[in-house]
A and B are shown apart, each in its own frame.
Chain A
Amino acid sequence: MSRRVVVTGIGVVSPNGVGVPAFLDAIQNGTSGIKFMPLYEELNFSCRVAGKPDFIWEDLKKYISEVTFHGLKGTNIGYGITAAMDAWADAGFEYDTDEPRWDTGCIFGNSVADTEAMKNVITKVDNKEVRKLGSRVVEQAMNSGVTSYISGRLGLGGMITTNSSACATGTQAIMMGYDQIKWGASKRMLVGSSEYVDPYVYGAFDSMRVLSRKFNDQPERASRPMSATAGGFVPGSGAAALILEDLDYALDRGARIYAEILGASSNSGGQRGGGSMTAPNPAGVMKSVTDAVTAAGIDPDQIDLISGHLTATMADKYEIQNWTKALNRSGKNFPLINSLKSMIGHCLSAAGSIESVAAILQINHNFAHPNINIEDPNPGILELIDEGCIPLTAVKKDINILAKANFGFGDVNTCLIFSKFNNK
């Protein structure tokens, strides 16, 4: 028998707010976390702005031992630990345990290890100083580094793994954790994703000419999803984590329930039918949405808000088109839609988890966050949906059902359906 799955804890490290209270305040007020990066000017990048959390490295000592802290260099791991530990505490759980927590697993995604930190490794090896690398490199270079630190701190004893599916990583991690509980393999799952866009990864995107480059002197205006002047995305860094629980388990312990996950779907357009390494096959995008809606057992008309992928490229219009077709809703009948990327940029593998935390907060606090930087909405988008569907300031509204989707390189798609928790 399948189980119901609820969200009982959240944690976030976002460019516009570290910690849930700061993040909630930022997304209610449309606060941008995009800043000018002097280093990127020095490096002759075309895009010189980025979303980077105001993260205090020393604060990690609140979560991990001094010994673990000593020698920790991976920025993505630091972000991930912080989001995960905050989510765990937010759910009302203690960090310390003598016995493994057999009923709890962890699926935490990322895309690449911190290349900036790995540069030191490469330099030492090239200088024939491999003896000086020490014991702490492998654990931070391996993709599962972040899950290993998190699960080790909390003694998690269920399935522990790291997923990676480009920009769909975060949503996919949530879906995989959801499945673990839904089918009875775990009672609790700590899920999420983290990303640190170091200069090397950033540079590679810059060279693809897919980044924003016309607003370097106005960083807060640089990320412009759905606008006519959307000219590429702004890379962002950060992490977010969710605690998912079996509903009965959560009710038995009297947990505060933020939201329920009603259904999810993950697929690929197969890099066919217009899909490629970098572009989605529209049929795959639409199928991920319709499959998630079907799995959730809802009618598409029940969706109050879409948290889009919407990175601020030419593809925004095609994404909206896919939503209109998949949901069979358009014009004034289209749900509200927003893109957190207007405030924080595109956090790649962390996008899905940070945006999901935003989704949960919107459900809980009854609002749709604003899209900033759309003083000039894309006319092609307005042919598909009414202007009123794109909030420019926070809209107070009961959000009962929210669809969250992310689409990534490799033509991969994941869609989640969140709802207010209703114990019926």
Chain B
Amino acid sequence: MNRTEILDELKKILAPYTLDKEQLAAVNEETDLIRDLKINSANLVDIIIDAEEKYNVEIDYDDAEKMIVVGSCIDVIESRLKAQ
């Protein structure tokens, strides 16, 4: 799975947690989950759980803390997928 494919899937995971559909449609690697997508910080946990389920990977607490912008989310998911 390349970065573009991961991004497409990630957008689906993020969708239920943001009301800003325009920002979601325009998501790029620099998009900040909290600042740009206005996601409630408490929901980051839910996004990580959804991503774990989607990709069938385990994201530990240290990796989870890196998932601030879309690009870093993709980094974490990519590295977890490669580690499999």
- Tell me the A residues contacting B by CB distance below 8 Å: 65-67, 70-71, 131-132, 134-136
The reply to whether B46 and A67 contact each other, CB–CB distance below 8 Å, is no
Closest to B42 in A: A135
Which of the segments B4-12, B15-23, B27-35, B76-84 contacts the partner chain?
A: B15-23
The reply to whether A70 and B16 contact each other, CB–CB distance below 8 Å, is yes
A-B contact pairs, 24 of them (CB 8 A): A65-B19, A66-B16, A66-B19, A67-B16, A67-B17, A67-B18, A67-B19, A67-B40, A67-B43, A70-B16, A70-B17, A71-B16, A71-B46, A131-B49, A132-B49, A132-B52, A134-B45, A134-B46, A134-B49, A135-B42, A135-B43, A135-B45, A135-B46, A136-B46
B84 CB → nearest A CB, Å = 18
Main DSSP-derived SS at the A contact region:
loop
Closest to B61 in A: A131
A136 to B17, CA, bound (A): 12
A117 CB → nearest B CB, Å = 16
A331 to B6, CA, bound (A): 78
B5 CB → nearest A CB, Å = 24
- Tell me the B residues contacting A by CB distance below 8 Å: 16-19, 40, 42-43, 45-46, 49, 52
Closest to A65 in B: B19
A76 to B42, CA, bound (A): 23
Closest to B38 in A: A67
Closest to A134 in B: B46
A65 to B52, CA, bound (A): 25
Residues of B within 8 A of A131 (CB): 49
A71 to B50, CA, bound (A): 12
Residues of B within 8 A of A70 (CB): 16-17
Known pairs A134-B46, A134-B49; list 15 more (Cβ under 8 Å): A65-B19, A66-B16, A67-B17, A67-B18, A67-B40, A70-B16, A71-B46, A131-B49, A132-B49, A132-B52, A135-B42, A135-B43, A135-B45, A135-B46, A136-B46
A286 to B23, CA, bound (A): 62
Residues of A within 8 A of B19 (CB): 65-67
A148 CB → nearest B CB, Å = 13
B25 CB → nearest A CB, Å = 15
A70 to B19, CA, bound (A): 11
A183 CB → nearest B CB, Å = 36
A134 to B40, CA, bound (A): 13
Residues of B within 8 A of A134 (CB): 45-46, 49
A65 to B21, CA, bound (A): 13
Residues of A within 8 A of B46 (CB): 71, 134-136
A175 CB → nearest B CB, Å = 34
B24 CB → nearest A CB, Å = 12
Residues of A within 8 A of B42 (CB): 135
A407 CB → nearest B CB, Å = 40
Closest to B46 in A: A134
Closest to B21 in A: A66
